[in-house]
């Protein structure tokens, strides 16, 4: 009988252990959970393992990848959809990188909708008021979503889910995508427009495109200036889609009515951790948290029972495909991006 394959699991939280241990009953991997993020300081922990499991705030730059390669790690299983934290060029030809392309687009879209509803009707503030027996509704006025315009940037799995939710509220939808899905637009009665037009005509803007060189700081001083006064801006994509300083300036001037942020540019030091007994040294984050019209959640868009179970199942299934030598259907690599599907059933390298 061969020994079970050993997986070094980084940035492990109690809920990860529960869901992966449950699903692993069907796979039998030897999973070692490390609390630490994967980075240059912790990569040594991967010595003696066959694969590495990483998450959104782990660092997979060239240094870390080269180290993993020295440790003869052949596979990195990302237990997430986004992969902006991986240097694919460095990994190509050495380490296969697998991901979970979809686990529940509903989870993230519903969270984006929750942020929109809370910010518009100021539910987050009402909660505190009534707990303190303050039953005044001064300052809590919102607007009807019905008849307003939502601008959705990125009409992939999550963007489309959010569009159907917002259409349920009677909203008009404008969409921007580098690769527009024209059949979908026709069927659903939505309009693809330029990013500039979306920015200038939307009452609510929600970001659902991947972070890459083209989309980094898509929301910046210039695009914010173009927006309607009082716009609600929602980001459940990736932090660096927004230039946070420009966002803060927009909030201070009143240009941006409110912002719902499930992700933040410099989130890795804070998000997913309990830092309540410490002083926040990140002045930009501290400033954001002071605004009454900003709702920050800690990258929890994905966090539903269904999504967490699907993540564990797909991640361990990906490892199984790799160790059994099969075709890696969820591989992403330097040459084969999400829009370039391998059709020959062969591995990238």
Residues that bind ligand NAI in the complex, under the rule CB under 6 A = 81-82, 102, 105, 108, 153-159, 177-179, 208-211, 214-215, 236-238, 262-263, 299, 301-302, 338
Least spacing, CB of residue 82 vs ligand NAI, in Å: 3
Question: Is 267 assigned a catalytic role?
Answer: yes
Give the closest residue to 318 by CA, choosing from 76, 49, 55, 105: 76
Least spacing, CB of residue 95 vs ligand NAI, in Å: 21
Closer to ligand NAI at the Cβ: 79 or 122? 79
Q: What tokens were used for 335?
A: 């040459």
- Phi/psi for 153 (5° steps) reads -100, 110
Task: Please tell me the distance from the alpha carbon of residue 104 to that of residue 98, in angstroms, as a whole number.
Answer: 17
**Which of the following is catalytic: 267, 313, 321, 331?**
267
- In 93-203, beta strands by DSSP E: 96-98, 149-153, 172-176, 191-192
Closer to ligand NAI at the Cβ: 98 or 209? 209
Residue in the block written with tokens 């495109």: 209
Closer to ligand NAI at the Cβ: 117 or 126? 117
CA dihedral of residues 245, 276, 233, 252 (deg, nearest 10): -50
Closer to ligand NAI at the Cβ: 91 or 198? 198
Closer to ligand NAI at the Cβ: 38 or 152? 152
**Which of the following is catalytic: 299, 313, 321, 331?**
299
- What letter would DSSP give residue 252? H
Query: Which class for 235: exposed (0-12), middle (13-18), buried (19 or more C-beta within 10 A)?
Result: buried
> Helix and strand tally (H, E) in the chain?
12, 13
CB 347 within 8 A of CB 96: yes
Question: Is 40 assigned a catalytic role?
Answer: no
Q: What tokens were used for 128?
A: 């505190």
Least spacing, CB of residue 293 vs ligand NAI, in Å: 20
Least spacing, CB of residue 212 vs ligand NAI, in Å: 6
CB 29 within 8 A of CB 54: no
CB 162 within 8 A of CB 188: no
CB 108 within 8 A of CB 300: no
**Which of the following is catalytic: 37, 96, 111, 238?**
238
- For ligand NAI, the nearest residue by Cβ is 156
Question: Is 238 assigned a catalytic role?
Answer: yes
Q: What tokens were used for 208?
A: 């659902």
Least spacing, CB of residue 44 vs ligand NAI, in Å: 29
Least spacing, CB of residue 175 vs ligand NAI, in Å: 9
Closer to ligand NAI at the Cβ: 77 or 159? 159
Catalytic site residues? 238, 267, 299
């Amino acid at each position: 009988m061969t020994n079970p394959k050993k997986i070094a699991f980084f940035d492990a939280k109690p809920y990860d252990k529960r869901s992966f241990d449950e699903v692993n009953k069907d796979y039998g991997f030897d999973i070692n959970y490390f609390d630490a993020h994967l980075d240059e300081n912790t990569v040594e922990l991967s010595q003696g393992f066959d694969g590495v499991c990483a998450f959104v705030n782990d660092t997979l730059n060239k240094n870390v990848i080269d180290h993993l390669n020295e440790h003869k790690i052949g596979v990195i299983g990302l237990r997430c959809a986004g992969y902006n934290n991986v240097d694919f060029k460095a990994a190509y030809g050495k380490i296969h990188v697998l991901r979970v392309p979809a686990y529940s687009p509903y989870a993230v879209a519903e969270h984006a909708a929750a942020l929109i509803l809370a910010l518009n009707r100021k539910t987050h503030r009402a909660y505190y008021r009534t707990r303190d027996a303050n039953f005044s509704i001064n300052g809590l006025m919102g607007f009807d979503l019905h008849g307003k315009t939502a601008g959705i940037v990125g009409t992939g799995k999550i963007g489309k889910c959010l569009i159907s939710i917002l259409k349920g509220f009677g909203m008009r939808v404008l969409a921007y995508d580098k690769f527009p899905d024209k059949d979908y637009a026709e069927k659903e009665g939505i309009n693809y427009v330029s990013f500039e037009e979306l920015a200038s005509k939307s009452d609510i803007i929600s970001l659902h495109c991947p972070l890459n060189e083209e989309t980094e700081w898509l929301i910046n001083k210039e695009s914010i200036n173009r927006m309607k006064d009082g716009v609600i801006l929602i980001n459940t994509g990736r932090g660096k889609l927004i230039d946070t300083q420009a966002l803060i300036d927009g909030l201070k001037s009143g240009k941006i009515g409110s912002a719902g942020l499930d992700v933040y540019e410099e989130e890795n030091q804070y998000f997913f951790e309990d830092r309540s007994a410490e002083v926040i040294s990140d002045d930009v984050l501290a400033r954001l948290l002071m605004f009454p019209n900003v709702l920050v959640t800690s990258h929890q868009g994905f966090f539903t029972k269904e999504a967490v179970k699907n993540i564990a199942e797909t991640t361990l299934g990906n490892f199984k495909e790799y160790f059994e030598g099969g075709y890696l259907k969820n591989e992403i690599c330097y040459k084969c991006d999400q829009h370039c599907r391998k059709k020959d059933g062969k591995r990238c390298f």
